[in-house]
Amino acid sequence: MVESEGPARYRLGVDVGGTHTDLVLNDIQSGALRIEKLPSSPENPALAVLEGLKRLLDSGVSPDEIAFFAHGTTVTTNALLEAKGSEIGLLINQGYRAICEVQTQARDEGNPFDHLFQRPSHLAPPALTHEISGRMDYLGNEIAPLDRDAVAAATEALIADGINSFTICYLFSYMNDAHERETAEIIREIALDPFVSMSSEVLPRIREWPRYSTTLINAYLVPVLAKYIADLAAGLDDEKVVTRRRFLMQSNGGVMPLSANAEAQTVHTLLSGPAAGVQGTAYLLGIEQGWKNIVTMDMGGTSCDIAFVENGAPLEHAEAVIAGRIVAVPALDVSTISAGGGSIARVNAAGLLEVGPDSAGASPGPACYGKGGTLPTVTDADVVSGVLNPDFFLGGKMSLDMTAATQAVQDNVAAPMNIDIATAAAGVTRVINATMADEIRVQAAKKGVDLSGFTLVPFGGAGPVHAVAVAEDLGIPRVLVPASPGAFSALGLLCADVVHDYIRSDLQDLEGIDPAHVQSAFTTLEARALAELQDEGLGDEDKHFLREVDLRYAGQGYELRVPIEGIPTPLDEGGFAALAERFHDRHEAVHGHAARGALIEVVSYRLRAVVPVPKIEMASAIDQTGSRSEQPSGKRTFRDARAQSIEADVWRREDLPTDRAIEGPIIVEQLDATTVVPSGWAVRLDNAGNMELFREGTT
């Protein structure tokens, strides 16, 4: 297990979002939590992290007592979405440049009948793509030697074009990577401190375009992440905070050391931010508290991230499309839509109300932030409707400008639609609620999830405001608001283990496969994992490996991941039969049918290396409220999503009673979020300090 470094008193989780940066400091001895929330710094996300850290240190926290640092970021996600990565060059086999044009021939987004459809622009345009002679066959045998002179000439040409991030994608390199490694050596001999992304290292699996696309994205983002990590590490060094135990969240729900090989693992950080909240939900609410079936709704300032936890485990996928580009690495199955507190509302040319997809972000932010924003956002609508208290935003640390919010909604929504401002604000709320409910409904249908048996867990600063309305639309009877919803993703960073995923494709028939060959494949992956953990300073830590195989029926164009856990290894005849039966069952569960007499093929071997990390003790961390008044702090009139005027008691969360339910309508306020409990619903604190919202008359 990864132990904390130094005189361990504190563990720090930091989540950088599009609008706010959240820091959660966990006192290991008492379990207490300290939360800092401040505006993000899009020009350099590390600045907000370091400013939040400075606030903690200025309050009396000693830097040598912060013994663990885990960090989630959207820096690579935003760079890809906003096309702000680095220029890259591509070295590809002679005669195969067209792979980048043909891709999969599928239209990953949009209407398949749209004759105006266009693919995203090339990350490595033809002018920066060089064909190199040399070939391996499908078994990994060399059929033509690598043209070293062509590699050197291509490298010189790309350097002259200002390229310092190189992509190497050769056919069948997952069977034999000798040509890719030889090419990388030549590049490093010629270029000054280049970034080199090899497909055999980033994603050694079959199917050229998914492998090439993932490697190209990795190369496109490596310089961005490397600079960010360097800036962050320098700032941490200046403050003498945590010299070794520094970790970065990955898309798969685990963390990796900041010192990890960025040239091979950058692409694994694309869903770093959203994954932290899902992992926190699965661990804190699932494993620790027994909530097995959950749909998460992480509504921050820019977007809403939706995921499902089924039977205590978050759903995963092995391939996704982000910004129209295929990313084929293991990741938590998170769906992201443009629906956040900063989503901008406007009336379109048809006179209809739209909310998003663009966001006011951290700068200038919603109009009510008083930073120069003039366009109305969801947060402005919540202020105008009276749901948010302008004098108690961030626990009173920030005041919201009601006048600016009112003016923005009036000028841009109410006046163009010729309606009163209350109706305009309610309309913004209804649209954003419907957008989130529709996405959850669609994703549930795709995954075969029956929402009536699930609990909705909202977090992010805006999530609890809108959660019950979304739950009612979906027929979900229960909402669970965690103790620190606005900083829950940062909290989730303190719930993750070090996790590395490895894959190796090697297509063979399952029937008659040599058990020694299977064992050798996994042994090779384990050796790579052990070497990387050693390089990261984790070689002597406790660790365990999880083995999976990708299987398919012969001739299929897709495969399914099947775990080997529970089947004795090395595999024998009985083990192969048990594995085949697992595949049949899995295929039937996913696709509705199984062909039990058909030939099965092994496509790839997968290994997950896990190094356990001490987790936060949530029960003790939330037991810090002291005495409770068990009385509301006042009353407030607000308007709901139908513009109806409602008078509600206002409670501070720390004053809620522990022995009874409170019936709505009420508004519950705390430092990092506001929760609306409408008429017909009630709220009570559970034993772990979560707010459990439920329909009156249910238990």
pLDDT at 3: 59
pLDDT at 2: 64
Cis peptide upstream of residue 678 (ω within 30 degrees of 0): no
pLDDT at 620: 41
Q: What contacts 320, CB < 8 A, 6 or more positions away?
A: 326, 327, 331
End-to-end CA distance of the chain: 40
pLDDT at 659: 81
Strands 634-639 and 560-563: unpaired
Which residues of the chain, if any, have pLDDT below 50? 619-625
**Sole residue written with tokens 């919540």:** 382
pLDDT tens for 198-232 read: 999 999 999 999 999 999 999 999 999 999 999 99
Q: What contacts 692, CB < 8 A, 6 or more positions away?
A: 478, 479, 480, 683, 684, 685, 686
Q: What is the CA radius of gyration of the chain?
A: 26
pLDDT at 457: 97
Is the separation of the CB atoms in 35 and 21 below 8 Å?
no
pLDDT at 73: 87
Q: What contacts 106, CB < 8 A, 6 or more positions away?
A: none
pLDDT at 621: 37
Phi, psi of 490 (to 5 degrees): -65, -35
Cis peptide upstream of residue 665 (ω within 30 degrees of 0): yes
